[in-house]
Amino acid sequence: MNNVSNISDSNSWNITRIAEAFGLHRETVRKRLRSSKVKPSGKRAGVDVYALADVGPALFSGERNVGDDDFLNPSKMLPKDRKDYFQSERERLKFEEEIGELIPDSDYRKDLYFSLSIVVNYFENLPDKMERTGLFTPEQLELLEKEGDKCRHEMYNKLIEITPDE
């Protein structure tokens, strides 16, 4: 019965006990407490003890705020958070592909090729079709062909300007 202690002492732990309770390495706990500038709340048996109210935010805040620009920057995340972030992104992309919101790049390119080949084919064959109708003069057909070529070149130049990341 000689070991009666104050109830507030139950909320002050040393680094070893904190590390065991939260499944962290002692050096990790020590580093996070130091970087968050958490001061010991006292000493017990010659060892520094820390108030749990101060320890929790220091260990698990991850040194980020929701308002930070770096909040979703993977290069600024802690390793565990970065791993979780990339796993969630991979799952999100799989889900979007399953529900048809996201299509593979190869399918997109095939569809674009198919659509553009129809447009190009139309412009290439238009002067011939109009010539067969007999409603156009040779000068008008030349002008039609020049305008079609001009439109095709404009489309080509616009496609060349597009970078893959856009």
- The domain locations on the chain are 7-60, 69-98, 105-161
57-85 tens-digit pLDDT: 888 876 544 445 556 788 888 888 889 99
What percentage of the chain reaches a pLDDT higher than 70? 86
Global model pTM greater than 0.85: no
Q: How far apart are CA 78 and CA 64, in angstroms?
A: 10
pLDDT range class, residue 8, cuts 50, 70, 90: low
Among 83, 75, 41, which residue's Cα sits nearest to residue 58?
Answer: 41
- Counting runs of H as helices and runs of E as strands, what totals does the chain give? 6, 3
Q: What is the identity of the amino acid at 126?
A: L
Nearest by Cα to 131 from 122, 123, 140: 140
CA separation (Å) from 17 to 2, 48, 49, 126, 155?
Answer: 23, 11, 10, 83, 68
Query: What secondary structure letter does DSSP report for 71?
Result: G
Does residue 130 contact residue 155 with C-beta atoms inside 8 Å?
no
